[in-house]
């Protein structure tokens, strides 16, 4: 599907080059392009590739991946989908998902190079994916990942081995870009992804979510303390903790404007397992309906 063609400047592009310290050759700025936006073409190592629309598994995974990654980013980072980047004179292509600093490049005034990329692989060849990653590593990329939709496997490029290494879904990704550790499985599992998003929103102090949790817990604990005056103090505190978590779940749903039926409200309030309530609290941040709260993991 690849063919060699002359390099044509995209509309408005210039030929300015960046000379990096310690290097004698000029390199194009990351955000200077020779591929026109919307052209469905990529340029990798001087070779042009025509990009085809995604099928359902690829398109859905692309959507889900960006949905998980955006809420877990620290404030200093931004993400983008299908954003053209130009690591060398003969390359101009768009990683599926890019993570890069908000701060502008002090030399060019443009954006900085990606620190992390995620490629969703379906029919794309491993060579194509690898060539793009290596081009970006030469300009400062720190980590590259591939999500293979054919078997929901996830890989990270090992600089030491010069090869893709398959990650276990139980592995956890920690990185300066992320506000919370991200389980590898969260990239392909909707339930685990939702829990990770919820933890990130809470960890980063999302004001609406934190206020709803605090108000719900305060109401529940106050009722538990009142009961504790008429029964054992320990028993009252335990009931107060459970009721606090239950009210926090309902408060988060209410803050997000989600309707809750009487049976659903009673199911939450009658739950006597703290672990279950904690799971529901994490889901309450991201579910589309209250009924989704009770879906099995």
Instruction: Give the DSSP letter string of 47-72.
Output: EEEE-----HHHHHHHHHHHHHHHHH
CATH superfamily of 17-188: tt1808, chain A (3.90.1570.10)
What is the Cα–Cα distance from 297 to 290, expressed in whole angstroms? 15
Say how far apart CA 281 and CA 260 lie, in whole Å: 14
Please state the domain extents for the chain. Answer: 17-188, 205-294
How many angstroms separate the CA atoms of 170 and 187, rounded?
A: 11
Q: What one-character DSSP code corresponds to residue 116?
A: E
Instruction: Encode pLDDT of 170-188 as tens digits.
Output: 999 999 999 889 999 999 9
Taking residue 5's Cβ as centre, other Cβ atoms within 10 Å add up to 11
Q: What is the pTM of this model?
A: 0.70
Weakly modelled stretches of the chain, pLDDT under 70: 1-25, 216, 220-221, 223-238, 296-297
Task: State percent of the chain over pLDDT 90.
Answer: 39
CA 40 – CA 54 distance, rounded (Å): 12
| Residue-by-residue DSSP string for 235-294 | HHHHHHHHHHHHHHHHHHHHHTT----HHHHHHHHT---HHHHHHHHHHHTT-SSGGGGG
- Helix (H), strand (E) at residue 18: strand 17-19
- How far apart are alpha carbons 10 and 112 in whole angstroms? 20
pLDDT in tens, 204-243: 777 777 777 777 677 766 766 666 555 555 555 667 778 8
């Amino acid at each position: 599907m690849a063919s060699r063609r002359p390099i044509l400047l995209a509309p408005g592009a210039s030929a300015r080059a960046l000379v990096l310290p310690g290097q004698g050759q000029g390199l194009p700025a990351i955000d200077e392009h020779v591929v026109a936006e919307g052209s469905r073409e990529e340029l990798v190592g001087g070779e042009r590739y025509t990009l085809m629309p995604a099928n359902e598994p690829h398109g859905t995974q692309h959507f889900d991946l960006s949905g998980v990654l955006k809420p877990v980013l620290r404030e200093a980072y931004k993400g983008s989908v299908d954003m053209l980047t130009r690591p060398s004179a003969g390359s101009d292509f768009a990683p599926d998902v890019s993570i890069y600093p908000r701060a502008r490049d002090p030399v060019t005034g443009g954006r900085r190079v990606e620190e992390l990329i995620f490629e969703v692989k379906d029919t794309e060849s491993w060579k194509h994916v690898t060539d793009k990653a290596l081009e970006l590593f030469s300009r400062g990329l720190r980590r590259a990942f591939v999500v293979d939709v054919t078997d929901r496997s996830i890989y990270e490029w090992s600089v030491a081995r010069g090869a893709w290494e398959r990650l276990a879904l139980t592995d956890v990704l920690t990185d300066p870009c992320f506000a919370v550790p991200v389980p590898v499985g969260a990239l392909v599992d909707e339930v685990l992804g939702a829990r990770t998003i919820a933890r990130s929103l809470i960890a980063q102090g999302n004001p609406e979510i934190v206020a709803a949790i605090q108000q719900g817990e305060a109401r529940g604990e106050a009722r538990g303390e009142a009961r504790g005056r008429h029964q054992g103090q320990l028993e009252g505190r335990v009931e107060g903790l459970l009721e606090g978590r239950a009210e926090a779940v309902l408060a988060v749903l209410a803050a997000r404007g989600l309707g809750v039926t009487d049976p659903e409200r009673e199911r939450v309030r009658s739950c006597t397992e703290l672990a279950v309530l904690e799971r529901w609290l994490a889901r309450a941040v991201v579910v589309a309906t209250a009924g989704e709260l009770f879906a099995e993991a």
